[in-house]
Structure 1
Amino acid sequence: MTASVVSIVYVNDAPAAARFYGDLLDSSPSFETPGYIAFDLGPGADLALWSGQFEGLSPDVPRTSEICLTVDGGSDEVDAIFTSWQSKGITILQEPRDAGFGRTFLAADPDGNRIRVAPQD
C-alpha cells in the first residue's frame, strides 16, 4: 500500500494562511481552491490549510497539537530560522532551547496554530 500523510490545519482565511505558510516554507501551493490550499512538503507529506470548517478561530484558544517542521543543519539552522522568523514578526511562543531530540523553538500562525521547528532525526 502506498500512503501519504496530509496534515490539515484549520484557518480562518485559507488564502491569507497560504501567504503566511508560503513565506515560511519558501514554497508555493501545490493545490488551491478558495477554501483548501495544500503544500507539497516532499515525498508522502503535504500541509493543507482548510477554512470554513470552524467559524472565528481564535489565537487565544489553547492548542493541543503542533505542526513540526524538521530541518537539516542542526542547532545553527534552528537558531537561524528563529532569527529569521522573529525578524518577520512571527509570534514566538517558546524561544530556542535544547530538548531531548535537539534544539527547538515554537511559534504560532495568525490563527494560533502551533509550529515547532526542530532538527531532522
Structure 2
Amino acid sequence: MPAPDLFLVYVTDIDRSTDFYSRLFDIEATFRSPRYVAFDVGGTVTFALWSGRPDHAHSATPRTSEIGVMLPGPASRIDDVFRDWSTTAGLVVVESPHDDVFGRTFVVADPDGNLVRVAPVD
C-alpha cells in the first residue's frame, strides 16, 4: 500500500522560503524550479515548497496543519532547538516551549504563517 512521501508547503515567495527552510533545518535543496523546490529529508521522503498556488498561501488562509519535527532525547533538547531557532530571520514564535500531553514542545511560523512544531519522538 502506498504511504505519504511528499510533504508540500504553500509559500508566496519561493526564494525567501527556500532560504528560510534551508537555514532553519540546515539542509540544501535537491531540486529547484521557478515555483517548486524540494528537499530530501531522508529515505524516500521529500519536503517541498510550492509557490504555484499563491491563493493557498494567503495570510488570511487558516493554517490547520503543522510541519512536525520530532526529536529524540531529553526535554532540554527541545529548549536548545528553540534557542537556536530564535535567531532565524522571519521566524514567528506561536507557542513558546511548554509541556503538553505528549511532552515538551513549541510552535513557530514561517514568513507565510505555516506552522512548525518541535516535539519529542512519540
**TM-score scaled to structure 1, two decimals?**
0.88
Unpaired runs of at least 5, structure 1? none
Q: Displaced runs of 4+ in structure 1, greater than 3 A?
A: 1-4, 55-61
Letter in structure 1 aligned against 2:75: S
User: Which residue of structure 2 aligns with residue 51 of structure 1?
Assistant: 51
Conserved 8 A contact 1:3-1:44: no
Give percent identity, aligned residues only: 41
Are 1:17 and 2:6 counterparts? no
Residues 61/4 of structure 1: CA separation in 2 closer, same or farther (3 Å cut): closer
Contact persistence 1:59–1:113 (CA under 8 A)? no
Partner of 1:72: 72
Name the SS of the counterpart of 1:111 in structure 2: coil
Contact 1:70/1:120 (<8 A) preserved? yes
Asked if structure 1 preserves the Cα contact closer than 8 Å seen for 2:92 and 2:110, the reply is yes
- Structure 2: runs of 5 or more not aligned: none
Match of 1:96 in 2: 97
Q: CA RMSD in A?
A: 1.9
The size of the alignment, in residue pairs, is: 121
State the one-letter code of the partner of 1:77. R
TM-score scaled by length of structure 2: 0.88
Contact 1:71 1:119 (8 Å CA) reproduced: yes
* Structure 1 residue 35 displacement after superposition: 0.7
User: Residue 11 and residue 103 in structure 1: after superposition, are their counterparts in 2 closer, same or farther (change >3 A)?
Assistant: same
| Cα displacement (A) at 1:55 | 4.0
